Structure 1
Amino acid sequence: MTRFIRTTALFGASLAGLLLLSACGKSEPAAPASTLAPSATVAAPLPAPATTATAAPASPSTAASLAPAASAPSAAAPVATPLTVAKVILGSDVNAEHQVTRASNRFAPNDKAIYASVATEGSSEGATLNAKWSFLEGQGQLVSNISQSIATDGPAVTTFKVQNPDLWPAGKYKVEISLDGKAVAKQDFEIKKS
């Protein structure tokens, strides 16, 4: 019987400590967005909101320790800013963070890949970024149309990649970036023989 009382008292004290910590606004900071592959960026998931379980107090002393925690004011949730595209940078190489290392709007026909690093600001639990790559010469031609989902709570970089195993035709091109179906940025570039 004494063991049961001690276990119940320990459980009650642990629950009271948990309630005190959750009432004072302690929480883990959200992880920054990170990239997974040169052609995709996925932000780290947001931590789950803290939940507390309530149980019947085991003894009068435990009930007294729970009362102050229940009446403590809770911290106000910060206001989230909507996700926006800050800038688009083109280049033929990216670093370990999947950001373009040398910006350029002019590429050679033998460049195998062209990257578009799309910097975003704000937060979103789920948005869709799209990169539509087009060849503008003649009647125009769709080269690639790539969509990626993004969930972030702060600045992030999403990298799109378009490849050609053969030589790129010389001429003018563009990439259009849209956020949740709405065009938000475009970048013209050119493939030119040296």
Structure 2
Amino acid sequence: MKHRTYLLTGASLVVFACLLAACERQGATPQRAAEAPSPAAVLGKDNTVMAVSTSPAVSITGVELGSAAMRPQDLPKRQKSFTTGDTVVVTIKTATRDAQARVPGRLKVRWIDPAGKVFNEEAKPVTFNGAGVDDFRVAEPMGWKSGNYRVEVSLDGGPVVQEGFFVR
């Protein structure tokens, strides 16, 4: 009977050790899951933000402005200058680290006028899955005033990505 108890205990320990090793190989140890994400931004050669990581799972990979919603194939249509009657659209490209993962999050956009005042603010919940694109748009019914504007984009309250634009 003692021999059987020792065998079962030994076998249980071996199974536990194998499971622990498998979890560590996949990065799923409880200590790693509890680590706080460290925000980081990667700037491109023209000082535009190429990637912002607010969590290990999701990042903003690009922010583009245009007068219509854009998809990756539309990038040459991006613009920084608008007329007073335009609708301005900010297209936010995102990606999950694991293309198969479904990660809940929240995108927030703030539109700021030439005087530095927020004139529109919007947020929406998003379930990120692989590479994705989300759009926010704003128009001035009475027409835009000329000047330099900017839009600020954030993901889950993380670092802010800013893009400036001019209305002529």
- TM-score range normalised by the length of the shorter chain: 0.5 to 0.7
1:154 aligns with 2:130: yes
C-alpha displacement at 1:96, in angstroms?
Answer: 8.4
- Compare CA radii of gyration and give the structure with the larger one: 1
The count of corresponding residues between Structure 1 and Structure 2 is 114
C-alpha displacement at 1:165, in angstroms?
Answer: 1.2
Instruction: State the identity %.
Output: 24
* Compared CA separation, residues 95 and 184, structure 1 to 2 (3 A): closer
2:65 — aligned with what? 90
Query: What are the superposed Cα offsets for residues 133-168 of structure 1, whole Å, 9 maximum, x if unpaired?
Result: 00033xx22121010111122000010111211110
Q: Is the 8 A contact 1:100 1:117 kept in 2?
A: no
C-alpha displacement at 1:190, in angstroms?
Answer: 0.8
- Equivalent residues in 2 for 1:69-148 (5 A)? 82-94=57-69, 102-111=77-86, 113-122=87-96, 123-137=101-115, 140-148=116-124
Query: What are the superposed Cα offsets for residues 112-150 of structure 1, whole Å, 9 maximum, x if unpaired?
Result: x1100000011553100001000033xx22121010111
RCO higher in structure (CA 8 A, sep ≥6): 1
* 1:182 aligned counterpart, secondary structure: coil
1:189 — aligned with what? 165
* Compared CA separation, residues 185 and 79, structure 1 to 2 (3 A): farther
RMSD: 2.8
- Equivalent residues in 2 for 1:44-59 (5 A)? none
TM-score w.r.t. length of structure 2: 0.59
Cα distance in 2, alignment partners of residues 136 and 164 from structure 1: 14
Cα distance in 1, alignment partners of residues 70 and 61 from structure 2: 19
Unaligned runs of 5+ in 2: 1-22, 29-55
* Compared CA separation, residues 85 and 79, structure 1 to 2 (3 A): farther
User: Deviating runs (4+, > 2 A) in structure 1?
Assistant: 78-81, 94-97
TM-score w.r.t. length of structure 1: 0.52
* Compared CA separation, residues 159 and 101, structure 1 to 2 (3 A): farther
2:142 — aligned with what? 166
